[in-house]
Amino acid sequence: MNLNTRNGPVLASIIRGALSNDLGAENTPTALVSRSDALTAGQNIVAATTAAGGAAVTRADIARLAAVAVQGTAMAASDEARNTVARALAEVGQTRTWNLMIDVIAQIGRYAPGTPDLTDPTKFIVQGEKRYWLHIALDRYDGTVVGQQLEEVTE
């Protein structure tokens, strides 16, 4: 997930799924971040990254975004809760790559006998099909392919 996204609800769902405190903490009930706090934090991050010069360029910007995210939320009162946002963003966030998934479906077959127009897809009889997912990671600054993986899909 790109940290520079303009989609606040996506960031909110990531933050909402994070535990607000450590599982091993004594006498502290473990809970998820509240929905309203997560939405506020997501919108705060979008506002910070869309501001002039505010785009996240490296993972080091996560600390700045986490500090901005908790402003105006109940999470601002606790250091552990503030760290929750940083952990959630660090686990799923990236700033330099675009990840693409291409779904390739290859079919083999023939047209029905007597088909006058070969552009009519309803006359094509599929005899076999193969699916592949091609995952590609592109550097968003220069467009070079950082990584790729071809995966055969079996259903």
CA distances from 29 to 21, 26, 46, 100 (A): 8, 8, 30, 39
Look at residue 24 and tell me if it is in a domain. yes
Structure tokens at 135: 């995952």
Does residue 82 lie within any of the structural domains?
A: yes
Give pLDDT, residue 28: 60
CA neighbor of 43 nearest in space, from 85, 90, 96, 94: 85
Structure tokens at 67: 């500090």
Residues 33 and 80 reside in one and the same domain:
yes
Q: Assign 145 to helix, strand or coil.
A: strand
Tokens of 86: 């940083």
In the chain, how many domains are there? 2
pLDDT at residue 23 in the model: 67
Residues 123 and 61 in one domain: no
CA dihedral sign of residues 46, 2, 59, 89: positive
Asked whether residue 57 falls in the same domain as residue 125, the answer is no
Domain that holds residue 47: 8-92
Report residue 95's pLDDT band, with 50, 70 and 90 as the boundaries: low
> Does 129 share its domain with 73?
no
The answer to whether residue 52 scores a pLDDT higher than 60 is: yes
Tell me the pTM: 0.57
**Listed residue (101, 65, 100) closest to 82, CA to CA:** 65
Shared domain for 58 and 102, answered yes or no, is no
- Does the pLDDT value for residue 26 go beyond 60? no
114: left (phi over 0), alpha (psi -120 to 50) or beta: left
Are 62 and 12 part of one and the same domain? yes
Same domain, 87 and 125: no
Q: Are 77 and 19 in contact (CB under 8 A)?
A: no
Choose the final residue of a domain: 71, 92, 113.
Answer: 92
Q: Is residue 62 part of a domain?
A: yes
**Inter-residue long-range contacts of 138-144, CB under 8 Å, 24+ positions, other chains counted:** 138/97, 138/98, 138/99, 138/100, 139/96, 139/97, 140/96, 140/97, 140/98, 141/96
Q: Is the pLDDT of residue 155 over 80?
A: no
Q: Note the pLDDT of residue 48.
A: 93
Q: What is the pLDDT of residue 18?
A: 81
Q: Does residue 1 belong to any structural domain of this protein?
A: no
End-of-domain residue from the set 44, 68, 92? 92
